[in-house]
Amino acid sequence: MGAFSSFVKGITTDYESALWRTTHEDTAIWSTTLKTNALLADIYDMLAQINSNMVGGFGHKKASKIKPIPRPWLADKSKHIGGKGALPKNELRKWIEKRMKRR
- Structural domain boundaries in the chain: 1-31
Assign 31 to helix, strand or coil: helix
pLDDT value of position 47: 94
CA torsion sign for 16, 18, 69, 60 is: negative
pTM of the full predicted structure? 0.48
**Cα–Cα dist 38/44, whole Å:** 10
Name the band, by pLDDT with cuts 50, 70 and 90, for residue 21: confident
**Cα–Cα dist 62/77, whole Å:** 25
Residue type, 96: I
What ranges in 1-103 are assigned the alpha helix state H?
2-10, 18-23, 25-28, 33-58, 89-102
Given a cut of 90, whether residue 45 has pLDDT beyond it is: yes
